[in-house]
Amino acid sequence: MEEFEVRVVVWDTLDVVMADVEGTSDVYIRAFFDPKDDKETDTHFRCTTGKASFNYRLKFTVNDKRKNGYQLNLQVYDKDFFSANEILGETVLDLNIPVEDTQLTQRPVTLNKNYCNLAMKDAFKDIKWKDDTSFFVDCYRMVKGKKELGGRVRISVDIFPKEKALANEVGEARQEPNHSPFCPPPIGRISFTLNPFKMFEQLVGPALRRKIYCICCCIACLALCVMLAPIIFGNIISSLINKAIGL
């Protein structure tokens, strides 16, 4: 039985929907060929822009005895602590061609732009390339019977014969050895600060922040009107009394 190592680097996302009431999502990515052997990234907590950052390597061992082929499932999730995690979108990548090429040539295959345009043009026709070796895949979900975009995930994929993988070992996630490609620390993650305004911006999404700001402005205006009302009504009544007595 021949084995292969599939290395998937989850870089970042775009346009992930905001699932929480405060206008945020706690985003993580799940990937698998077999649901019983799934892998997950860490979690980008309190993502407020749809742009979650991971730079996280996932490694899968597959063999040439798979009956269902090599279908890589990618799912975008919102992590919840008091209920089941919510799936925001998913997609499936057909990797049969590059795995077969790896088996035939006994050489690693990288899904770069040139290779995909030549060997996987139909399967990758909707792929949006970020650079020569990483690309965005669209993940969809069903909402009230309609297919809606749940987010876009940028990944890169390398496939190695097992022997070549062992000779060119890399770590999971961002662990050492960290190369081919190097996975830097994620950016844009929540960070603790004593500045309450900074923390508020990190914990609450922009749409909800605008609503809160509008409500605060309305309350401030209402409070100002209540404070000024006695003065205004006092002046009006004084004017009416003065006119009534002819002053």
Q: Sketch the domain layout of the chain as residue ranges.
A: 3-187, 205-244
Nearest CA-CA partner of 9 in 186, 191, 190: 186
Mean pLDDT estimate for the chain: 89
From the list 43, 17, 39, 14, the residue with the least C-alpha distance to 28 is 43
pLDDT (tens digit per residue) in 215-241: 778 887 888 788 877 877 777 777 777
Predicted confidence (pLDDT) at residue 205 exceeds the cutoff of 70: no
Rg (CA), the chain: 27
Task: Check residue 26 and give its pLDDT.
Answer: 94
Check pLDDT > 80 for residue 171.
yes
Q: Where are the alpha helices (DSSP H) in 120-205?
A: 162-167, 196-203
From 13-22, 98-107, 144-153, 176-185, the region with the lowest mean pLDDT: 13-22
> Averaged over 9-32, what is the pLDDT?
93
Partnered with residue 146 across adjacent β-strands are 143
Task: Please report the pLDDT score of residue 81 as a whole number.
Answer: 83
Q: Are 55 and 183 in contact (CB under 8 A)?
A: yes
The amino acid present at 209, given as its one-letter code, is R
| pTM, 2 dp | 0.84
CATH fold of 3-187 reads Immunoglobulin-like (2.60.40)
pLDDT (0 to 100) of residue 4? 96
Helix (H, G, I), strand (E, B) or coil at 243: helix
Residue 139 has φ and ψ, to the nearest 5°, of: -115, 125
Query: Which is more confident, 224 or 207?
Result: 224
The CA distance from 139 to 95, in Å, is: 17
Q: Residue 20 above 70 pLDDT? A: yes
Q: pLDDT digits over 174-183, tens only?
A: 999 999 999 9
Both ends of the chain: CA-CA distance in Å? 109
Across the range 131-141, mean pLDDT stands at: 96
Give the model's pLDDT for residue 67: 83
Q: Model confidence over 46-87: pLDDT tens digits? A: 998 999 999 999 999 999 888 889 999 999 999 998 889 999
The tokens describing 127, both together, are 């792929």
CA-closest candidate to residue 137, choices 117, 158, 157: 157
